[in-house]
Amino acid sequence: MRYNSDMSIIQKEIQLRPKLRGFHLITAEIEHQVPEIAQIDTGLVFLHLKHTSASITLNENADPDVRSDMESIFNDLVQENQPYYRHTLEGSDDMPAHAKSSILGTQLTIPVTRGRFNLGTWQGIYLCEHRSHAGSRSLVVTILS
């Protein structure tokens, strides 16, 4: 085990471009907005999405069919216009968006090795946009190295 007494912390908040409803790869967008990652030999990146109607997750980064299938699965799992929803003032997609966000979550921890996210061969970071008409999303990126 190696102990680094010179541990540093970098934190910044970035804005992700507005996305249509669905599951979107954002790995490259994060790397572009947080070039500090390239300077990290060994560390951790903590991602926190500051929203209750979107989420982040890791999944397939090659075949776009996976992203559209994920959207279909979650739309079937958490359907709109259910008669038992009380929170309906913000539209038929809002309450389901909150539920999907809770199921998937809004935080990830990813190791960084030699200046890159240390992801599996087929892994990418997704923004899961659960609203039909959402704006940009805020992501807090905290780097420990």
CATH number for the domain harbouring residue 64: 2.60.120.460
* Distance of alpha carbon 14 from alpha carbon 138, whole angstroms: 6
In tens, the pLDDT along 102-133 reads: 999 999 999 999 999 999 999 999 999 999 99
111 found inside a domain: yes
Chain-centroid distance of CA 112 in Å reads: 17
6 found inside a domain: no
Strands (E), 9-122: 9-16, 22-25, 42-49, 54-60, 107-113, 116-117
107 to 11, 115, 127: CA distances (angstroms) = 15, 21, 11
2 found inside a domain: no
**Both structure tokens of 117:** 């996210």
User: What is the domain range of residue 104?
Assistant: 13-144
The pLDDT confidence band at residue 6, using thresholds 50, 70 and 90, is: confident
107 found inside a domain: yes
Beta bridge partners of 15: 138
In tens, the pLDDT along 26-60 reads: 999 999 999 999 999 999 999 999 999 999 999 99
Q: Give the dihedral sign, CA 70/47/102/53.
A: negative
4 found inside a domain: no
3 found inside a domain: no
5 found inside a domain: no
Is the pLDDT at 4 greater than 70? The verdict is no
8 found inside a domain: no
Number of domains in the chain: 1
